[in-house]
Structure 1
Amino acid sequence: MSDDMGYSDLGCYGGEINTPNLDKLAANGLQFTQFYNTARCCPTRASLMTGLYPHQTGIGHMTNPPQSDHHDYELPGYRGALSQHTITLAEQLKGAGYQTMMTGKWHLGMEEERMWPLQRGFDKFYGILAGAANFYSPTFPRGITEQNDTTAIHDPDYYTTDAFTDKAIEFIDKGQQKEPFFLYLAYNAPHWPIQAPKEDVDKYRERYRNGWGQLREERYKRMKKMGLIREDWPLSPQDSNGWDSLDGAKKDEMALRMAIYAAMVDRMDQNIGKLMDYLESRGELDNTVIMFMNDNGACAEGGPLGGGPAEQLETKKGYFLTYGRSWANASNTPFREYKHWIHEGGIATPFIVHWPEGIKDTRKGTRVDAYGHLPDIMATFIDLSMSEYPATKNGKALPKLEGESLLPLIAGNGEMDRDKPIFWEHEGNKGVREDNLKLVMKWDNEAEQHWELYDMEKDRTELHDLSGEMPDKVEEMAALWQEWAAANQVEPWDKIQKILSSK
């Protein structure tokens, strides 16, 4: 899993960033064009780990930051940590005889040890418990944890992306050779702070000097040529300052910010290649199911021109260093909005499945247009492991899984059995997708809320609102959303805001 990456950043999704290893996985596997996350980092991880909607897991908004209960709103869907009354992927697969390993970003609760990965089914863990850290020198309380112990970093060449991969390989290498393994490798790249090794940044120093507007056009044309998007889907309007309005020094700075971001994606791809090479050397690449996805759309935090002091760029210092909304708009080409929001730019993720022994040769390199979402992954892994999801935990009934298995699509022997809509809510932003129709609402404190309706087959860039033409359908789908919200611990956002402002 990558962190805060846009839909079109990878080469196989239309980007110019050098990602040969992920491109290879897509070319020899399946590439999903309509897979969805939940628009934010920790809710996505909660949904991925449990097969449930985030609010069912207690992470309807965010997890608590280090040494704080800031996001515990004392409501069942908003406790700021993953509910103990859930079954994680690791717990499920460990019960099915798998070794369970994790490296990278946890972000599902950290204040008590019972919230940590080893207490939620993982045999091995190395990574950060918090949501973000310095890539070169992660330090307390956003430092490195190995197993249940904090680990000080003294290596001057330390870089989290490299370390997470190296430790993942070490875990597999030292594991039981006769037992299958489950590895969850959750990179914190390219989440801020934007930091990358100089040799990778150097590849992109001159690449972005023509600005985000031209980059969007280049990616849009490439995506159409590749068949990733339809010719008749217009490019969404540019949501950024004009590049030519910047002076020379600011252009230099902004080109550097994007170059660092691109280098972070590049470095992640290099590490994925390292892991693939290791699996191949063991003779296990072909019989290992590899899934790749991102946790939310590109991040617009920090304003149009990014956050954090320019003088910290290309140093090993800094924390809140971002590339800004203008570049995020390009990363999400051709879609609207970003991380936090439920329009396609906030929830559309690249999703690649590679499994040479399970995907027929005639289907390798196929694009899958059927839509899916995070809870489908738990259902798929249950199918793959031939295990059963428990009905109860500690004598209490567990929530039923919310996803459908992707295995028929992966194996090519059938269609998905999706007989119900899929839903979203984050910070008052709402959505429901039923077949080709998507109903979506953007929260606005200062304006009346309005449902928008789009036909995802004809208008996935969400530029032609059908709500006025199809009011009955809006009413019907809005009622489905309200029913889902009432059944899944979703609270009105203005209620949550009042609690948040009182903390």
Structure 2
Amino acid sequence: MKPYIKLITATLLLIPVFTGLAEDKKDLPNIILIMVDDMGFSDLGYHGGEIQTPNLDFLAQNGVKYSNFYNSGRCCPTRASLMTGLHPHQTGIGWMTHTRHNLKRLEKFTSDAYQGHLNRQCVTIADVLKQNGYATYATGKWHLGLFEKDDWPLQRGFDEYFGCLRGHTLCFQPDKQCPIYSGNELVTRPKSTTDEAFYTTDAFTDHGLEFIKEGMKKDKKPFFWYLAYNAPHWPIQAFEDDIDKYRGKYMEGFRAVRQNRFERQLASGLIDSTHRLSPLDKDIPIWQDLTSKQQQESDLRMAVYAAMIDRVDQNIGKIMRFLKETDQYENTLICFLSDNGACPEFSILGHRNIVDIQARNADHLVSYGRAWSQVGSTPFRQYKSFTHEGGTATPFFIHWPAKIKSNGQWYRDSAHILDVMPTFLEISGSNYPEKLNGNALHELAGVSLTPSFNHQKLARTEGIYLEHQENASLLQYPWKLVGHQVALKNGTDFSKWELYDLSKDRTELDNLASKHPEKLQEMAKAWEVWARKYTVFPK
């Protein structure tokens, strides 16, 4: 059986399985899909982090929490796959979206797979759910097309939108460089939705809740809300009272914080006790070798970053309270993940002025640095843009009280962001169309996650394939083929492939390429076939 769901097969399969999930239209669940930006694998409390995330931890513990879930390794390719259920190259975002900054870089590509915005051979989750009677809302970071309005949320299936179209924005005072939009209209001076200053995390939550409230006045449609926070992506900016919670907590240094996270991961069962903690990059300094000023600034950078995640969790609590107050909590499915691994940009110890509050909150590029990003990647090596575990493994959970009765165990089957669209189609009783507006559509590439609701195996018959900016991987558990800068313009550099047995080595420390050349050849050939089928090549 092929790894994707045939259109006709998918339609037939949805009907009997769906019967057990919702009896009729009135039982259709609301769906809230929450994505954070550049958050590391170990940042959340239930994933080993010291950052206070009680609301996210509660939802995960009382839903299905996945220990082996993968994104696509970078902002917009992940968003493209999440929204469409297709590989990024199928959607036209095989590299990144186009901006004036990287337009020349994209011009080197000859394939439409790298055009830099969503094409018309794909539909979004919102497109499909709207056809099945859902109200569709989006708030937050879009990053799927900028220059043409046809690529914006309202033209891609959403009824309402409030957020930033670009890959980042200032948290307190979005400006002309990275502005806020309401629907298709530019918002020159966005107003605060709280009694504090305007802050994107708060605004993206509150505008989404307002969309839902207004929709409830009009009709009783179920809703789909795509909530894409820009936090904790740079620029790292947060409220001072949130930052104060974490000042001093990171003065023990990178290695100590990382070790503590790893020990909590082992204790929770997230990571197997036989797996080892990967070493930090060799150029990461010893904490005690830093000057007092460097230590203080580094502690502050991580405190600001932690405060951004803390604020996200506060807003998750606000959403939970709203759902309970409006009697929608039980039949609302909440799904949560990060778009990629922790972000190493732009230097080892962080970028730009972090100490001056006014300067920090007006700077587009202030960051926490590669050293802390490797703490975020605990226990893995590598980070954002890599297809090693540190770049693509993400916290992921699904919470749905009406249908998921959790015992707090980890779900161990490997799952991928391509699986979200088939899952939402199944639980909503929606059929994936063969065409939309006269355009023939690609077939879905993932499988439904609904078997995981009862801790059953998924129907996946082949591996999980990835490629981003020449980095590539194929996961056929327990084997993982992975390479850095291996997928060149017209083919692969075979010498750069690595091979790991994740059942014994999830942190990718023992390269078995020379010990198992036949397995390496087999998987490399399979990856090459996939890459040419899904237009990774030619670039």
TM-score using structure 1 length: 0.94
Q: 1:379 and 2:422 equivalent?
A: yes
Identity %: 47
| Aligned pairs (5 A) from 1:156-167 | 157-167=197-207
Distance 1:66 1:198, change over 3 A: farther
Q: 1:241 and 2:268 equivalent?
A: no
Q: CA deviation at 1:480?
A: 0.6
8 Å contact kept, 1:5–1:331: yes
Distance 1:258 1:67 in 2: 28
The answer for the alignment partner of 1:37 in structure 2 is 71
8 Å contact kept, 1:454–1:466: yes
Distance 2:166 2:350 in 1: 22
Distance 1:224 1:76 in 2: 44
Distance 1:473 1:86 in 2: 34
Post-superposition CA distance 1:5-54 (Å, at most 9, x none): 00000001000000000001012111100000011000000000000000
Q: What secondary structure, in the 3-state scheme, does the structure 1 residue paired with 2:515 have?
A: coil
| Aligned pairs (5 A) from 1:161-310 | 161-176=201-216, 177-239=219-281, 240-310=284-354
Unaligned segments of structure 1, at least 5 residues: 497-503
The answer for the alignment partner of 2:497 in structure 1 is 451
Deviates more, 1:253-262 or 1:313-322: 313-322
Q: CA deviation at 1:244?
A: 1.6
The answer for the alignment partner of 1:65 in structure 2 is 99
Distance 1:368 1:61 in 2: 31
Q: AA paired with 1:222?
A: R
Q: CA deviation at 1:154?
A: 5.4
Q: AA paired with 2:383?
A: Y
Match of 2:390 among 345, 367, 374: 345
Unaligned segments of structure 2, at least 5 residues: 1-34
Deviates more, 1:169-178 or 1:32-41: 169-178
Q: What secondary structure, in the 3-state scheme, does the structure 1 residue paired with 2:366 have?
A: coil
Q: 1:324 and 2:364 equivalent?
A: no
Match of 2:174 among 123, 130, 138: 138
Q: CA deviation at 1:395?
A: 4.0
Q: 1:467 and 2:510 equivalent?
A: no
Q: CA deviation at 1:366?
A: 2.4
| Aligned pairs (5 A) from 1:140-155 | 140-153=176-189, 155=191
Distance 1:66 1:210 in 2: 42
Post-superposition CA distance 1:200-245 (Å, at most 9, x none): 0000011001111100110111111111101110100112222122
Distance 1:321 1:230, change over 3 A: same
Q: AA paired with 2:247?
A: R
Distance 1:154 1:94, change over 3 A: closer
The answer for the alignment partner of 2:436 in structure 1 is 393
8 Å contact kept, 1:67–1:111: no
Distance 1:75 1:449 in 2: 25
The answer for the alignment partner of 1:23 in structure 2 is 57
Distance 1:233 1:287 in 2: 38
Distance 2:534 2:482 in 1: 18
Distance 1:312 1:63, change over 3 A: farther
Distance 2:264 2:382 in 1: 21
Distance 2:312 2:407 in 1: 23
Q: CA deviation at 1:448?
A: 8.2
8 Å contact kept, 2:60–2:399: yes
Q: AA paired with 1:383?
A: E
Q: CA deviation at 1:68?
A: 7.1
Distance 1:448 1:469, change over 3 A: closer
8 Å contact kept, 1:257–1:313: no
Deviates more, 1:14-23 or 1:302-311: 302-311
Distance 1:418 1:267 in 2: 36
Q: 1:117 and 2:161 equivalent?
A: no
8 Å contact kept, 2:465–2:473: yes
Q: AA paired with 2:340?
A: N
Q: AA paired with 1:485?
A: A
The answer for the alignment partner of 2:400 in structure 1 is 355
The answer for the alignment partner of 2:88 in structure 1 is 54
Q: 1:423 and 2:465 equivalent?
A: yes
Post-superposition CA distance 1:48-98 (Å, at most 9, x none): 000000011010111012687443545211001111221101001101110
The answer for the alignment partner of 1:365 in structure 2 is 408
Distance 1:293 1:317 in 2: 28
Distance 1:395 1:170, change over 3 A: closer
Q: CA deviation at 1:398?
A: 1.6
Distance 2:526 2:116 in 1: 26
The answer for the alignment partner of 2:530 in structure 1 is 484
Distance 1:273 1:164 in 2: 14
| Aligned pairs (5 A) from 1:433-448 | 433-443=475-485
Distance 1:392 1:473 in 2: 39
8 Å contact kept, 2:464–2:476: yes
Distance 1:21 1:333, change over 3 A: same
8 Å contact kept, 2:343–2:373: yes
Q: CA deviation at 1:365?
A: 1.9
Distance 1:364 1:108 in 2: 37
8 Å contact kept, 2:154–2:183: yes
Q: CA deviation at 1:399?
A: 1.2
Q: AA paired with 1:194?
A: I
Match of 1:105 among 130, 138, 141: 141
8 Å contact kept, 2:65–2:410: yes
Q: What secondary structure, in the 3-state scheme, does the structure 2 residue paired with 1:174 have?
A: helix
Distance 1:448 1:257, change over 3 A: farther
Distance 1:448 1:475, change over 3 A: closer
Distance 1:43 1:364 in 2: 33
TM-score using structure 2 length: 0.88
Deviates more, 1:478-487 or 1:137-146: 137-146
Q: CA deviation at 1:401?
A: 0.5
Post-superposition CA distance 1:276-318 (Å, at most 9, x none): 1101111111100000000000000112111223445564210
Deviates more, 1:300-309 or 1:4-13: 300-309
The answer for the alignment partner of 1:500 in structure 2 is none
CA RMSD between the two structures: 1.7
8 Å contact kept, 1:4–1:294: yes
8 Å contact kept, 2:413–2:457: no
Q: AA paired with 1:369?
A: R
